[in-house]
């Protein structure tokens, strides 16, 4: 619990240095609430998040000197987080480390789902594999999520999802059960468009087998260069989702790929430049 005080102090700083200056701020109680708060400008959550990010990185927190940030080479000067980082890089150097496949999965959007006898269901799509066996009809340790399991997905490639495996501290790659019916990865907007097509025909837009047939038609049209906007976006999404190293996306996981097809050629590797901290006129030396 030693970190609780640090968290509370950080929240108080954000409240007093950022939140109280935002139009529409209601305060922590009625005694700190301004006049006609409801009638003043209000911000959406994405707008507030953007303003907070800008304040943290550029305008406020990262450039604000902290008493706890001092360098033995500059003992009389309080450093900001950005200045302390520059000193650290100047002393220890900088080495860019590429993300692994597991890191990419960690950064993908997350949803919390139950693991049933038939697998995991997301937006009328069923994902299943043998590795889910020990977790079927079993509650997770996440009590705040009602025992559901953490599932990450790529909105530009819904052909598989990744469920966190707490027993082996890794990821379980779970493919879509109707994946053999489609010829290429598909995005979320393509899935929704396929459902709209079925609904317009008066058919059941929750039948994933019927949706898969419409998807395959859309993907085939996208591969042949049609003039439809959705088909064009589908082709573009399929091109950018071929990320190497993702769990379950190697050659052995490909669906519908010819054995003699070597796949797309590797793009030329652009080497990283070497960071020169002494070339940055930061005024620290």
Q: How far apart are CA 113 and CA 145, in angstroms?
A: 9
Please, are residues 54 and 70 in contact by the beta-carbon 8 Å criterion? no
Provide the residue-wise pLDDT of the chain in tens; the chain has 285 residues: 566 777 888 888 888 888 877 777 777 777 766 666 766 667 777 788 888 888 888 777 888 888 888 888 777 888 888 888 888 888 888 788 888 888 899 999 999 999 999 999 999 999 999 999 999 999 998 888 999 999 999 999 999 999 999 887 899 999 999 999 998 888 999 999 999 999 999 999 999 999 999 999 888 877 665 445 555 565 565 555 555 566 666 555 544 444 444 444 555 655 555 555 455 554 444
- The CB density around residue 190, as the number of other CB atoms within 10 Å, is 26
Query: For residue 79, what are the β-bridge partners?
Result: 66
Element (H, E) at 164: strand 157-165
The answer to whether the predicted template modeling score (pTM) of the entire model surpasses 0.75 is: no
Q: How far apart are CA 33 and CA 82, in angstroms?
A: 33
Q: Which two three-digit tokens encode residue 214?
A: 């419409």
Q: How far apart are CA 261 and CA 255, in angstroms?
A: 12
């Amino acid at each position: 619990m030693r970190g609780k005080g640090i968290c509370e102090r950080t929240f108080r700083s954000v409240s007093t240095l950022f939140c109280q200056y935002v139009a529409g701020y209601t305060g922590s109680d009625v005694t700190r609430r301004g006049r006609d708060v409801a009638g003043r400008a209000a911000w959406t959550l994405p707008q507030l998040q953007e303003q907070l990010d800008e304040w943290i990185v550029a305008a406020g927190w990262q450039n604000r000197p902290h008493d706890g940030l001092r360098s033995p080479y500059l003992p009389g000067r309080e450093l900001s987080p950005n200045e302390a980082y520059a000193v650290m890089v100047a002393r220890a150097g900088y080495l860019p480390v590429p993300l692994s496949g597991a890191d990419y999965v960690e950064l993908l959007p997350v949803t919390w789902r139950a693991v049933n006898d038939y697998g995991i269901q997301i937006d009328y799509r069923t994902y299943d594999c043998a590795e889910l066996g020990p977790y079927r009809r079993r509650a997770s340790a996440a009590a705040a999520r009602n025992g559901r399991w953490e599932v990450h997905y790529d909105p530009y490639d819904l052909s598989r999802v990744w469920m966190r495996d707490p027993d082996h501290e890794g990821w379980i790659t779970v493919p879509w059960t109707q994946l053999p019916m489609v010829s290429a990865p598909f995005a979320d907007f393509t899935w929704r468009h396929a459902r709209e097509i079925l609904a317009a025909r008066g058919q059941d837009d929750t039948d994933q087998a019927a949706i898969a047939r419409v998807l395959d038609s859309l993907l085939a049209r996208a591969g042949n260069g049609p003039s439809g906007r959705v088909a064009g976006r589908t082709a573009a999404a399929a091109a950018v989702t071929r990320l190497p190293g993702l769990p379950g996306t190697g050659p052995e996981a490909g669906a519908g790929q010819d054995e003699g097809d070597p796949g797309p050629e590797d793009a030329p590797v652009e080497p990283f430049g070497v960071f020169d901290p002494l070339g940055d006129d930061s005024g620290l030396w």
